[in-house]
Amino acid sequence: MADVIIMNKIDVLGNTLRSMIQERGILARCELLQRIYEAVRDADLDAGERAELEKLVGKRLAPGVFGNILSGSPIFPDFPRLDSFMQIQGRVFHFARSGNYQKEDFQKAYSDFLQSREELLALVRENLSDLLEEFLEKAGYSLVEKDSRGMLFSSKDGRKLTGLIYPRIGMVALDQCLECAGEHPEECVVVVPHEEGLPPFVKFYSDHADSFEEEGIQVWVANMEEGSIDPFIGFTTDMDIYSQFKNPKLAAMVRSTWKK
């Protein structure tokens, strides 16, 4: 009787990511990160499997797997070594040097990236929602309701917070935030992911910081490569949330540097 190989979910996760990278060859850094978040979520690891993977990549699984894959020593066997990168139109693309890719290959990779833009924006929104839920759970909040407009959280002592997720900071609109926040804009927080450069944040701050501060709506930025969230505009008075920020003084630093 032939031996039957039983794969655990961590092996399945590794196979999923390996197949994707082998098929694509050249991947935008931002897409690779979001695909890893998706793959970790879809793997549906149980508590024991999560603990096992945490020993290998750290508590934050998706960022840990992302960093490990780019480290040159992936934990998954027979995994492509993404040991080279190139900037194309301001985007970082990773690939294996052994692939011997030509100019046409990079052009196709960039074209494929552009064509998948809407799908990736939706994926960023979903992944960022998961990250925000995890972040606020550690601060004592539970998700009460989630729809296309936002996420409503509540704590055991009655504190409420509405989270509005935007896949890019350039897509944030104050009027939409005010409509969603209703009569309590101070209980509203906008969450956006980091990007590969500062210019979009500098522009947003210059154009909108005063308006958001006046309305009392906070803006947080998630570094999805690290799995962390920090304040960008506005200040929280909730010490449970404050203690979860990696750099709780970031908004004050930005204000002192960028405020005209």
pLDDT digits (tens, 9 = 90+) for 81-97: 999 999 999 999 999 98
- pLDDT at residue 47 is higher than 60: yes
Q: Which range of residues forms the domain containing residue 175?
A: 124-258
- Token digits for 137? 């759970």
With b for 16 or more beta-carbon neighbours within 10 A and e for fewer, the 217-245 pattern comes to: bbbbbbebbebbbbbbbbebeeeebeebb
Asked if 214 and 100 sit in the same domain, the reply is no
**pTM check: above 0.75:** yes
Give the model's pLDDT for residue 4: 39
Asked if 93 and 142 sit in the same domain, the reply is no
Give the model's pLDDT for residue 93: 97
Give the model's pLDDT for residue 24: 93
Segment 23-34 shows an average pLDDT of 96
- 153: region left, alpha or beta (phi > 0 left; psi from -120 to 50 alpha): beta
Q: Categorize the per-residue pLDDT at 260 as very low, low, confident or very high, splitting at 50, 70 and 90.
A: low
- Final residue of a structural domain among 68, 98, 115: 115
189 falls within a domain: yes
Q: Categorize the per-residue pLDDT at 3 as very low, low, confident or very high, splitting at 50, 70 and 90.
A: very low
Q: Categorize the per-residue pLDDT at 99 as very low, low, confident or very high, splitting at 50, 70 and 90.
A: confident
Segment 125-144 shows an average pLDDT of 97
- pLDDT at residue 32 is higher than 90: yes
Asked if 172 and 111 sit in the same domain, the reply is no
Give the model's pLDDT for residue 2: 44
Give the model's pLDDT for residue 6: 42
Asked if 98 and 135 sit in the same domain, the reply is no
Q: Which of 134-143, 149-158, 221-230 is least confident?
A: 149-158
User: How much helix, strand and coil, in percent to the nearest 5, is found in the chain?
Assistant: 50, 20, 30
Q: How many CA atoms lie within 13 A of 22 on its CB side?
A: 9
27 falls within a domain: yes
- Token digits for 69? 């894959």
Segment 204-218 shows an average pLDDT of 93
For β-strands 91-95 and 151-155, DSSP reports them as unpaired
- Final residue of a structural domain among 86, 115, 144: 115
- pLDDT at residue 259 is higher than 80: no
Give the model's pLDDT for residue 1: 39
Mean pLDDT for all residues in the chain: 92
